[in-house]
A and B are shown apart, each in its own frame.
Chain A
Amino acid sequence: MAGLATTFGSGAMTNSINEIENAQVMLVIGSNTSEAHPQVARRMFTAMDRGARLIVIDPRRTLLAQRADIHLAIRPGTDIPLLNAMMRIILDENLADDLFIEMRTENFYELRDMLFRLDLEEAARITGVELASIRAAARLYGRAQKAVICYCLGITQHVCGTGNVQSIANLAMMTGNVEKEDTGVDPLRGQNNVQGACDMGALPNVFPSYQQVDIDDFREKFERAWHVSLSPRPGLTLMEMTHGGKNGPLKAMFIMGENPVLSDPVMSRVEETLDNLEFLLVADIFLTETARRAHVVLPAASFAEKTGTFTNSERRVQMVRRVIPPLGQSRTDADIIMDLSARLGYVMDYESPAEIMEEIAMLAPIYGGMHHDRLENSWGLQWPCWDREHGGTPFLHKYYFTRGKGRFVPAAHEPPAELPDDDYPFLLITGRIYHQYHTGTMSRHSVLLSREAGEALLQLHPEDGRRLGVRGGEMVRMRSRRGEVRVKAQLTETVKAGEVYTTFHFSEMPVNLLTVSAKDHFSQCPEYKICAVHLEKV
């Protein structure tokens, strides 16, 4: 988010998902697309059918990596030196789009100065990838007319996450791969509505439509609409809230549809924080690990029980309609909030979700033309959609960037917070698998999904397995400086020797007991992707 906001001005996919089918070159970095975003992967396969070339940058040999023309199996956490090396090669080989840089961007010289100081051999050494492969990838990307970069949490969940994203943006701007159809930078969102939540200001520093709280004009607009005075200070970030500990900054929390006990790093710290709150209120459709710790739990309605909109990765706002009335005592999120608000003395009187959408259209310019009647019987509209006549925006930054000129923000390598050493010799990467979703709150209720993937597996290279005396299917004790879990080993060459991979879906194997609390300085996103662990056979 922060990375693209500072460079382009909008933290969202610049393309539509369908456009990927027409790409000539696809650069996939930090995304296990076929597992985590199958609908996007499907477009990538179609693009390949049409002759597109694929570059995958991933420490693991994922399914997509196996299909790639070039797979750069980098050391985890070395994306910046790799991207910088690619940019340097593009510069050296005259593949930079000078006109685009001149007309549409600023601050290029700062990047260029940094790139000229870059030692390519050293970059190759840091990343663990041969320079010739980096060169091949740079040429392939730099020479394409239509090139798409897709990235995901493998980029953002690092201490240098913002720098990673900025480097991706730099690479795209340097080659002019932004302003056009079928060409751009596409962060893939992990949840059906996480884009919508951000759009609506579920971030510490902005109101809906990314209007900063510390800018008076924006704040006054919302004060007038809501008849209250609003704080000009940004709120707390997620980690500040859930990692406060005994003397944390919060006395009470209201958590909706989120399961931080399992999903946030250093589980013990999260538990301590929540247990020391004076009051914890949780609204969820199931009794999650977090809800179990709450003083009050409000049963929420599922997607089938409510009407409203979801906003997906490609900025598309789509209607979801109530199919059945809320079961039992459950109520929709809007009902819960409105009732709670009324009891706290502020009456929110909306007669329907459509009325709420009208207010959104009024206050959030990028949603300006989105009304329920326009979203009915259609596949939705993509923001920005300024007014009722506007047909939505399939791809961003045509003619000018959201922030005016695209800004190059050079980034230097920042090593991960914790790397393997003699005591903790393995590097643990965490991620997701196809058949489960996040902390399993919903997906683990499906018998069929559990039959497909019902337990956590630790991917371990066969060589490491031999050394540890562990065979496939045997239990391993995995320990980091913060905690210990037991997990079943799966021997596979998907991971490199010295690196292991597992998922965070299963509460029996809460891998976030192990992860580090180190986080990106700008976005505050925790480094889930790298920590050092020790393994032994149970």
Chain B
Amino acid sequence: MPDKYILKKDHLLPLLRKLKKTHRLIAPVRNRHGDTLFAGIDNLDEVRIDLENQPQNSLKQFFFPQQETLFTYSNPASDSYHFEPVVEESPPTLYFGVRSCDLSAVLYMDVVFLKNVKDPNYQRKRQNTILVGLNCNDPFANCFCNATRNGPFIDFGFDLQLTDLGDRFLVEYDRSRGQEIISDWRQFFAEADDQDVKAQYQAFLEARGKFRLQVHLDQAVKKLARDEVPESVWEELSMRCQDCGGCAYICPTCTCFSISDLQTTDHAGERIRSWDACTFSGFTRMAGGHNPVDRQMRGIEKRFRHKLQFDVKKDNRPSCVGCGRCVNICFGGTDIVRFINMTCCENI
């Protein structure tokens, strides 16, 4: 079986219609307020799949929801507790239009949630998923996946991967499920020829030259490893941080959570897992009120060290995927690009 195919753009919707019969379909959809978000699609004819703009959310919320009930508890007789795990059905799901950054982020989350102790909730949602990727011909204004080395094109981790060649997509597969789709729906796919492969390579070369930011992430990683980041950088950024937590919430690889119990009746309640952020002072404050992290001076330190130092030490690669979402959302100007630039340039 050849490894590269052509899918005509006209045939994309018909193909998705076929795949939707057996899978829940999630894709970037432009809503009526002009925002593009990854969202479930009920009726393909009623939504506009938007491959031009970057979805504001990543896939994180689908595998690791912002708030999730892990189990319920009750003690009707007030003597012994009874626990009931909450098991949500996770139908087979196809994620379409996933860019290299978001795809890499899912692979990173797999490491967090599945490598050692397997998180059952994550696993349930993650299995039976098909990832259909899209290489980036036009990186967005704040993208820097070239610096994090997982884009703009990616050649592993997906089930199917599309490259936009104008009137057609070049289609590659990496996993067996992708291969199955091609063989199951062979009528949609024609074999790619040399010209197509060359066109893909050309698109890659051009995409590479379209990044607008200069981000020397490897430099920052080195400086962090050698502990050469000036104190003033942490201080300056921490002081400006507005403590909104937006960066962590929107980040496709920020996976910190907190656990809380919500009492629903006098004798019952539920245990909830929800997103948390290491920039919050409540994240590190101890019961007695002491906080080992002075938020005003160092509040933002943990976040960047985790992504660019600790994860590099642990997995040999930073856990920032260069999607630029935190750059878009941060209103204090304390995003990771700012940090990297401040760390690498003496005079900023």
CB within 8 Å of B: which residues of A?
A: 34, 38-39, 41-42, 45-46, 49, 63, 66-67, 321, 377, 434-435, 447-448, 451-452, 473
Q: Which of B136-144, B184-192, B238-246 contacts A (4 or more CB under 8 A)?
A: B238-246
Q: Which residues of B contact A473 (CB under 8 A)?
A: 289
Q: Are A434 and B243 in contact (CB under 8 A)?
A: yes
Which secondary structure characterizes the binding site on chain A?
Answer: helix
Which secondary structure characterizes the binding site on chain B?
Answer: loop
Q: Are A452 and B280 in contact (CB under 8 A)?
A: yes
Contact of B280 among A39, A42, A45, A448 (CB under 8 A): A448
Report if A447-B260 is in contact (Cβ < 8 Å); known contacts: A45-B240, A45-B333: yes
Q: Are A448 and B282 in contact (CB under 8 A)?
A: yes
In whole angstroms, what is the CA distance A67 to B239 when docked?
Answer: 9
Q: Scan B12-39; emit 1 where CB is below 8 A from any A CB, else 0.
A: 0000000000000000000001100000
Question: Taking the complex as formed, is B255 at the interface, i.e. its CB lies under 8 A from any CB of chain A?
Answer: no
Q: Which residues of A contact B34 (CB under 8 A)?
A: 377
Question: Taking the complex as formed, is B332 at the interface, i.e. its CB lies under 8 A from any CB of chain A?
Answer: yes
In whole angstroms, what is the CA distance A434 to B245 when docked?
Answer: 13
B interface, size bucket: 10 to 19
In whole angstroms, what is the CA distance A46 to B333 when docked?
Answer: 8
Q: Which residues of B contact A434 (CB under 8 A)?
A: 242-243
Q: Are A452 and B282 in contact (CB under 8 A)?
A: yes
25 A-B pairs with C-beta separation under 8 A: A34-B242, A38-B242, A38-B244, A38-B332, A39-B331, A41-B242, A42-B240, A42-B331, A42-B332, A45-B240, A45-B332, A45-B333, A49-B333, A63-B239, A66-B239, A377-B33, A377-B34, A434-B243, A448-B245, A448-B282, A451-B280, A451-B282, A452-B243, A452-B280, A452-B282
In whole angstroms, what is the CA distance A447 to B259 when docked?
Answer: 12
CB within 8 Å of A: which residues of B?
A: 33-34, 239-240, 242-245, 260, 280-282, 289, 296, 331-333
In whole angstroms, what is the CA distance A434 to B280 when docked?
Answer: 12
Q: Which residues of B contact A39 (CB under 8 A)?
A: 331
CB distance from A85 to the nearest CB of B (A): 30
10 more CB-based (< 8 A) A-B contacts, given A63-B296, A452-B243: A38-B332, A42-B242, A46-B333, A66-B239, A447-B260, A448-B280, A448-B282, A451-B280, A452-B282, A473-B289
Q: Which residues of A contact B289 (CB under 8 A)?
A: 473
- Among residues of A, the one whose C-beta sits closest to the C-beta of B332 is A42
Q: Are A42 and B239 in contact (CB under 8 A)?
A: no
Q: Which residues of B contact A49 (CB under 8 A)?
A: 333
- Among residues of B, the one whose C-beta sits closest to the C-beta of A376 is B33
In whole angstroms, what is the CA distance A45 to B236 when docked?
Answer: 11
- Among residues of B, the one whose C-beta sits closest to the C-beta of A64 is B239
In whole angstroms, what is the CA distance A422 to B146 when docked?
Answer: 68
Q: Which residues of A contact B296 (CB under 8 A)?
A: 63
- Among residues of A, the one whose C-beta sits closest to the C-beta of B245 is A448
CB distance from B15 to the nearest CB of A (A): 32
In whole angstroms, what is the CA distance A321 to B34 when docked?
Answer: 14
Q: Which residues of B contact A66 (CB under 8 A)?
A: 239
Q: Are A452 and B281 in contact (CB under 8 A)?
A: yes
